[in-house]
Amino acid sequence: MASNNDKKIKRTINLLSIAIPLAVAALFRIKVEGVDLSFLPPVYATINGLTALTLISALIAIKKGKVEIHRKLMTTSIFLSVLFLLGYVAYHMTSDPTIYGDVDGDGKLDFLEAQSVESTAMIYYFLLISHILLSVMVIPLVLFSFFFAWKGDFERHKKWVNFSYPIWLYVAISGVIVFLFISPFY
């Protein structure tokens, strides 16, 4: 039977899983003028790449039975994901949206620009949309996986990780790929 503390933690995870995406969506509507954070996209793309590397390293560590290294790498992965989110939100609160294919940066995709990215646009938008949707979905998966490990309930931890790990890794890697696609248009 779950303790009151466990119930509070589970409620907090559920609340965070709803509040974080809603807060991010709300913050996109806020525009902070006069602040130039245009340097951030390659920074947070690098953080996504580092997250992917720490996730892969953590998997290797646990497969080799190196539990403490695994624990530290997973904690680092969560920290990196939070850093990514902060940089991502800060950039989007201070910058106009970037349109895939908008070569001249006028905020519109004209016919020639659309034609120039026609062969890659479907791939880009598939990656972008799946990245965004799965990044929302992975929040509770990661938090519950972490919670069960922290509690020492490794049976439930493993069950949750079967879902959370591949999704989290996909989100981290697809974030880097999305950046590589959109970066010529910043």
Q: What is the pLDDT of residues 71-85, one digit of tens each?
A: 999 999 999 999 999
| For residues 95-113, average pLDDT | 94
% of the chain surpassing 70 pLDDT: 99
Q: What is the pLDDT of residues 88-97, one digit of tens each?
A: 999 999 998 8
Alpha-carbon Rg for the chain, nearest whole angstrom, is 19
Query: Would you place residue 29 in the very low, low, confident or very high pLDDT band (cuts 50, 70, 90)?
Result: confident
CA–CA gap between residue 52 and residue 134 (Å, rounded) = 15
Domain ranges of the chain: 47-185
| For residues 155-178, average pLDDT | 97
pTM of the model: 0.92
CA–CA gap between residue 10 and residue 97 (Å, rounded) = 35
